[in-house]
Amino acid sequence: MAGHATAQERLFALRETIARLEGKTPMLVAEEQRERGKNPAVLTSRRVSLGIADVDAALEGGLPLDGMTEVRTSMMRDAGAGSGLVLALAALIQKQTGASALLWISDRVSNGEAGLPYPVGLAQYGVQVEHFLHAAPRTLEDALWLAETAAASGALAATILEIRGNPSSFGLSESRRLSLRAKAARRPILLLRHAGEEEASSALFRFHAASAPASERVLHTGAMLGGSIGFPVFRLILEKSRNPAPLSLLLEWNSHDRQFSHARRSEPSRLSTHAATHPGTRFPVSVDGPDRTPAVGRLLAFDRAS
């Protein structure tokens, strides 16, 4: 851990040096970012604003349209959060650029683990699905070729490439190739990495996504409906950016208005405290137990030991 901390510190020191070389003091950088956050007119047209001031400031105006952005999850079970964030970004890109075609290049194992993108759900999530395309290439090489071709063609609003872990055949040079294609065609590639480690790549920004309890549904009176599951909330860490300190926040995706907002703090739910009216038997949480629950019944004889 100590090594990690010193590495981080050295990284910050290097970033400060670079900022000084570019003629900006770190103080100036921070101030500039604050300025930009206040004044959205400064935003260049090649960025898609997330609508949250400090995120946009950290992203230097928003999500880049001419590059690769990575979304990473630590575990496969966070696939829902990762997919949700990527699709929310795609929906924002669709909304702000006016293009609608999306290509989701999925990984076959992830498909089995977390399921296939489901168009009815996507439509409810705020993604335009008229030209939603899906491909599941057999090998990673095919997937990379497909992502490259798709980005270079310029026909898509965004290309979503899903990979699992940190495969050796998707290294720095491959990611550089992809991001150069994206830059040349000025079309974004969203890289969704399930259960992956931090890795050097050519992605301009990298988010770490994890699930967080959803906000509660808002009634028309403005009150929150206790115990309901409303809009999804992500626990985000902006791991890679020009900003020296990683940014961590809870973001809520409003699928009706297609916009992000800060997550509202939700009350502890009625169900979690009181459970049900008739909770039935509460089993203790099993620790170090066998993988399956033992069969319920009377033990009549032991198995043979020898």
Partner 1 sequence: MGLGLRQGQALAEARAMHPAIDVVEENPVADKALLEGIADWCDRYTPLVALDGGDGLFLDITGCTHLFGGEQALLDDILLRLFRMGFKVQGAISGSPGLSWAACRFGTGGVIAEGAAKETLEDMPVACLRIGAEAAAALNKLGLKRVRDLFSLPRAPLAQRFGSHILLRLDQALGHQEEPISPRRPVGVLSVERRLAEAVQAEEDILELTARIARSLCFGLESRGAGGRFFELVLFRVDGRVFRIAAGASRPLRDARKIAGLFTERLKAVHDELDAGFGFELLRLNVLHHDPFEVLQGSIASKQEDEASLPDLIDRVSARLGEGMVQSFRFRESHVPERAVVQVPALSHISDAGNDEAPVTMTRAERPLRLLPRPEPMEAFAAIVPDGPPSRFRWRRVLHDVARAEGPERVSPEWWLDDVAEERDYFRLEVASGHRFWVYRQGRYRMDHRPTWHMHGIFA
Q: Which of the residues 82 through 111 are near partner 1 (CB under 8 A)? A: 83-85, 87-88, 99, 101, 103, 111
Give the residue with the Cβ less far from partner 1, 123 or 249: 123
Query: Measuring CA to CA, which residue among 192, 209, 176 is closest to residue 70?
Result: 192
Among 115, 169, 223, 248, binds partner 1 (CB under 8 A): 115
Q: Enter the DSSP assignment of 182.
A: H
Per DSSP, the residues of 221-232 read: TS-EETT---S-
Among 170, 205, 253, 260, binds partner 1 (CB under 8 A): 253
Give the relative orientation of helices 140-153 and 172-185 as an angle to the nearest 10 degrees: 20
236 touches partner 1 (CB under 8 A): no
Residues numbered 215 to 234 that lie near partner 1 (CB under 8 A) are 227-229, 232-234
# of chain residues touching partner 1 (CB under 8 A): 74
Among 46, 134, 177, 242, binds partner 1 (CB under 8 A): 134
158 touches partner 1 (CB under 8 A): no
Query: Measuring CA to CA, which residue among 115, 117, 114, 92 is closest to residue 103?
Result: 117
How far is Cα 245 from Cα 69, in angstroms, rounded to an integer?
18
Give the residue with the Cβ less far from partner 1, 55 or 103: 103
Nearest distance from C-beta of residue 138 to partner 1, angstroms = 8
1 touches partner 1 (CB under 8 A): no
Residues in the chain: 306
Give the residue with the Cβ less far from partner 1, 93 or 204: 93
Structure tokens belonging to residue 1: 């851990």
169 touches partner 1 (CB under 8 A): no
Give the residue with the Cβ less far from partner 1, 53 or 155: 155
User: x/- contact string, 46-85, with partner 1 (CB under 8 A)?
Assistant: -------------------------------xxxxx-xxx
45 touches partner 1 (CB under 8 A): no
150 touches partner 1 (CB under 8 A): yes
Among 45, 168, 286, 306, binds partner 1 (CB under 8 A): 286
Give the residue with the Cβ less far from partner 1, 57 or 65: 65
How far is Cα 251 from Cα 59, in angstroms, rounded to an integer?
15
Q: Are strands 47-48 and 63-64 parallel, antiparallel or unpaired?
A: antiparallel
How far is Cα 60 from Cα 242, in angstroms, rounded to an integer?
8
Longest dimension (CA), the chain: 81
Give the residue with the Cβ less far from partner 1, 125 or 205: 125
Q: Which residues contact 117 (CB under 8 A, 6 or more apart)?
A: 83, 87, 104, 106, 132, 134
CB 106 within 8 A of CB 136: yes
129 touches partner 1 (CB under 8 A): yes
